[in-house]
Structure 1
Amino acid sequence: MKCFTLACVFIISFFATNSLSAQQTLQGSVERIKVHGKGLEGNLEGNSADPEVSVYLPPSYKKESKKRYPVIYLLHGFTDTDAQWYGLMKHWISLPAVVDPIFAAGKVNEMIIVTPNAYTRSGGSYYSNSITTGNWEDFVSKELVAYVDQHYRTIAKAASRGLAGHSMGGYGAMRVGERNPGVFSSIYLLSPCCLAPGARSTESLAKIEAVKEPGDFAKADFGTKAALAYAAAWSPNPLKPPFFTDQIIENGKQRPEIEAKWTSNMPLVTVDQYISNLKQLKGIAFDAGDKDQPIASNIKILHEVLDNYKIQHSYEEYQGDHLNRIGERIEQKMLPFFSERLSTK
């Protein structure tokens, strides 16, 4: 009986180990390519019109040559790059390490994930159309989608395309998603920034005005850089080198006309104009950590607005900050959300 028990233990251990080993070998692959953007040509910052794009191919992609897949377009945050998110550079998240186990376990439908490198001279494009940074909204919604459909085995229809993003990328997912319901069918916003205007202190305005040349920008703090990127995205001016922007402060005075331009690009201000588009989407979800302010407060307002219009959506405020649980949210919330909503046919 003792030998039998040991044999059973050996057999169970053998199969458990080999099952685990099999799951560990079921890994996706990442390709880093370049995609030309006609609308990115000639931008005044001198950003490349051929940005890098990371493409995650799920575990079965290279084995099942006839299978086609839904696609998630995942947009990164301000000062980030696609390389950081895909384990190609050291960062606070490695997307393949997050998604490989859940795809390998068969818990959700496999999907291709695509992330363009939207890092610009000003730190980030905010996925907006601008002569200064380039037409990033058009690049994501038109040129990138067309390229991916032509070069990968996608299911080339809106019902099989999702759009998501973190922080600046969450803003981009809302901005691009609400304008393009014929391209993307579902959106997921992870801690989306910039949904509403925020107050600026006299000190923060002084820091913005103190940036006169690229060397000053490199030394600036995160908030100051973000304001300069807002200007590049939302108040471009081709006659004002070296940044080619109208800034929110000039000669010590705040400029309400520039503030109005920035405000007009913020989703909580414009959402009422896109209600018919949002109603066309098959899924809308957003979340943020309770310590991530003012983002958590702003998504609560978005939740209330969508409730008022009786638009179905998923909203959650969880215990956390801007970064500490994003991998977990992708694994446990975002991937299941898209798996349920994106068509596999």
Structure 2
Amino acid sequence: MHAQFLSFRCFVYSFLVLSTFAFVVATQAYSQSSPTGPGRVERIKVHGKGLEGNLAGDSPDRDVSVYLPPSYQTDKKRHYPVIYFLHGFTDSDDKWYGLTKHWINLPAVVDKALAEGKTSEFIIVTPNAYNRYFGSMYSNSVTIGNWEDFVAEELVSYIDKQYRTIPQASSRGLAGHSMGGYGTLRIGQKHPEIFSSLYLLSPCCMVPNMSGPGDAKMATRMEAVQSVADLDKADFMTKAMFASAASWSPNPTKAPFFLDLPVKNGEPQAMVTAKWAANAPLATLDQYVSNIKQLHALAFDAGSKDESIAANNKILDSMLTNYQIPHTYEEYDGDHINRIAERIEQKMLPFFTANLSAEPVKGGRKGK
């Protein structure tokens, strides 16, 4: 875990609290020559029943950014395949959708790909997984709430009811970057009946961390955090360890954080380490081989300079190859973030164009 999170240390940003009311913004296209014009972003709220009562005190009413393709407003009878896109640790949906200044603007990337004929039209949906611990790991926990279930079940159900989707697995894709790539495989390997195609961009946290906090200094920093204020001021790696503990080793009796750290009084905690390992996709993949074989398509990539993540991608590639599971794997010249927009435009969107069905289901539910 320690080595993986170091590869995206630059993600430390403070949380921006936006209005509790939904609002609509138009995105700007890269190219003014697009025959269809830019898509449109709606930011809505979706209530998560499984997020209610989480011990961290985060709201179960989650902001969700929804990209609607250019033809959505004019072709009222058309239904669309959907890509559910999961953001990374310390990120949020508003950063990815151009509502807050960030290193990427996903709608603009999609508009550019559409203008250049590189992609079909999709609805794209991203929930805000930023929480008290700066990221949910898209996992189920009494401390943070049931994020895995929220994405796979509650969010999908809500979007199918409210928008003109094609409500079938063959028309749903799941993708994500970094923590979102982790969430994509974690959720996708359990739910082929919901998502048929997966694309992982630089997925973190794939292997079990059996060495606890990694070093004595990290252990000291973790145990020095005694209050919420301490956590807010902590370094990136310490925050990442608390987020992992909140997601994978919750403890409902241990206020104020309601979690067990992998170290106590300077000593590694074997049971906590075991719990974390049980949430590592490469450790659990063998149990989900039959599910993964049901997927229509699976692809993943990472930059060669994103060394630990690229190395773990090689392990995933080898495991899938041993099971004779078709997949696409690529290592490119880049780091954790510098070519992600390009990869989305040139690889991810064409991948979903080729693999998600654009054929509506007869009698499917109709959204707005």
Q: Please report the TM-score for the alignment, with normalisation by the length of structure 1.
A: 0.93
Q: Which aligned segments of 4 or more residues in structure 1 are displaced greater than 4 angstroms? A: none
Which position in structure 2 is the counterpart of 1:176? 187
- Give the Å deviation of 1:25: 6.3
Whether contact under 8 Å (2:85, 2:175) holds in the other structure is: yes
- After superposition, the C-alpha distances for 1:15-61 in whole angstroms (9 at most, x for unaligned) are xxxxx644176100000000000000000001110100000001111
The structure 2 residue matched to 1:265, chosen from 262, 279, 296, is 279
CA deviation vs aligned residue, 1:85-125 (integer Å, no higher than 9, x gap) = 00000111010111102123333210010000000100110
- Once structures 1 and 2 are overlaid, which stretch shifts more, 269-278 or 22-31? 22-31
SS in structure 1 at match of 2:174: strand
Alpha-carbon displacement from aligned partner over 1:143-200 (angstroms, at most 9, x marks no partner)? 0000000000000000000000000000000000000000000000000000013441
**Larger % of helix: which?**
1
What displacement does 1:220 show?
A: 1.1
Task: Tell me, yes or no, if the aligned pair for 2:89 and 2:178 is still in contact at 8 Å.
Answer: yes
Q: Which deviates further from its counterpart, 158-167 or 192-201? A: 192-201
Q: Would you say 1:23 and 2:34 are equivalent positions?
A: yes
Shift of residue 211 of structure 1?
1.1
**For residues 59-78 of structure 1, what are the structure 2 equivalents within 5 Å?**
59-78=70-89
Alpha-carbon distance between aligned partners in 1 of 2:88 and 2:130, rounded to the nearest angstrom: 9
Asked whether the 8 Å contact 2:216–2:266 carries over to 1, the reply is no
Ranges in structure 1 where 5+ consecutive residues have no aligned partner? 1-19
Cα distance between partner residues in 1 of 2:224 and 2:116: 53
Counterpart pick for 2:305 among 291, 294, 299: 291
Q: Which runs of 5+ in 2 are unaligned?
A: 1-30, 360-368
Counterpart secondary structure, 2:71: coil
2:132 match: 121
Contact residue 186 and residue 284 of structure 1 kept, 8 A: yes
Shift of 1:261: 0.2
Give the structure 2 partner of residue 216 of structure 1. 230
Q: Number of residue pairs matched?
A: 326
Structure with greater contact order relative to length (CA < 8 Å, sep ≥ 6): 2
Q: TM-score, normalised by structure 2?
A: 0.87
Equivalent residue, structure 1, for 2:108: 97
Is the contact between residue 59 and residue 103 of structure 1 (CA under 8 Å) also seen in structure 2?
Answer: no
Contact 1:59/1:104 (<8 A) preserved: no
Q: How large is the Cα RMSD of the aligned pairs?
A: 1.0
Paired position in structure 2 for 1:156 = 167
Please state whether the residue corresponding to 1:280 is helix, strand or coil.
coil
What is the percentage of aligned positions where both structures have the same residue? 62
| Counterpart among 119, 122, 139 of residue 150 in structure 2 | 139
Structure 2 residue aligned with 1:185, among 186, 196, 209? 196
1:230 to 241, 244, 252: 244
Q: In the alignment, is residue 88 of structure 1 matched against residue 99 of structure 2?
A: yes
Decide which moves more: 191-200 or 329-338.
191-200
1:130 alignment partner in structure 2: 141
